[in-house]
Amino acid sequence: MRKSSRLPDMRNLGVNLRILIIVNTPLVLAAIALSNDFNQFFNLITATSVIAQPMLLLSLLLLYASYPILIKLRYWQGLLAMVCIILFTCSGVYELISQLLIFSELPTQTRVLFFALTLTAIILYYFNLHHRAYSPALIEARLQALQARIRPHFLFNSINAVLSLIRSQPKQAETALEDMADLFRVLMADNRDLVPLAQEIALCRQYLSLEKLRLDERLNIQWQIDDMPPDALIPPLLLQPLIENAVYHGIEPLAAGGTIIIQIYTKRNEVHIVLSNPYHRQNIHQNGNKMALNNIKERLTLHFDLEASLKTTQSDTEYQVHITLPHTKI
């Protein structure tokens, strides 16, 4: 795991939007408090923005450029480096503005740097709390991997399917046992780091091969992944729980079975994962809980903030989950 994983991701759109809001909110509130009318407010916010916005935007630009270096440092070293970059940037912009004589009166450099340091501390503390708030999702992911992802009935039926093959098709039974071992090994791992998409696909294929032993011709899979970026990084156990839900809620209740469609493609530097399965209002399993979907949403937020999303849609015959996340490469 990255040493500085608790640092805010300065290349994330959501992180930068939050920083812009946190910095500009006190500026606006201060201008409102010191103004008697709209014209005075406008003049104050304009004068403040001419100084503050170049400092803010240039700081964000330098932090964006230096982020690959920052995440290689220890957490406290990364924090110190970020503070130094911000103070250096604010000091440089202040000197430039004072040399250009844009204003007849400027606040002292000490006051400006103190204000910048205070806001920086507030922002870093906010993102530290934000990380802590979503850390339980990581713990929950592991607990669900150990308890909920492999339901007792799936384990029982898979073992029975393997036992039925031992005498008639020993080679297939051996392969099935190997798939089960690999699947449990992944589910019991400390699933916190991002993994290559190709690794998740391999896991899902092993899982589906076991379900195929149980459901046989009732389970059909369409993989539409020719445009899949195999090197894209995603949270572990992102697709497998969705496939398990599709089997449980979409295929099992139907006597004739059905088809699960898995489509993965890239568009505008984003990875799209679309999973569709049959849906009928009369399905006895349709009221299953949303634990897997909620867990995936939380982990997407933890890893990618506002750059990732999970949406579900349903019609009279189909249920679809659509995940969008940034194309982060190995």
What b-and-e string marks burial along 29-57, b requiring 16 or more CB atoms within 10 Å of the CB? Answer: eebeeeeeeeeebeebbeebeebbebbbe
Kindly report, residue by residue over 118-144, the tens digit of the pLDDT.
Answer: 999 999 999 988 877 766 666 555 545
Same domain as 156, residue 278: yes
Domain for residue 141, yes or no? no
Same domain as 317, residue 189: yes
Q: How confident is the model at residue 146 (pLDDT cuts 50, 70, 90)?
A: very low
Domain with 219, as residue range(s), is: 148-326
Choose one of 68, 99, 133: the last residue of a domain. 133
Same domain as 35, residue 128: yes
Neighbours of 210 (CB within 10 A): 21
Number of domains in the chain: 2
Kindly report, residue by residue over 90-125, the tens digit of the pLDDT.
Answer: 999 999 888 876 666 778 899 999 999 999 999 999
Domain for residue 5, yes or no? no
Choose one of 133, 164, 196: the last residue of a domain. 133
Least confident of 3-17, 149-163, 269-283: 149-163
Asked if the model's pLDDT at residue 80 lies above 60, the reply is yes
The pLDDT value given to residue 171? 82
The pLDDT value given to residue 220? 95
Domain for residue 155, yes or no? yes
**What is this structure's pTM?**
0.71
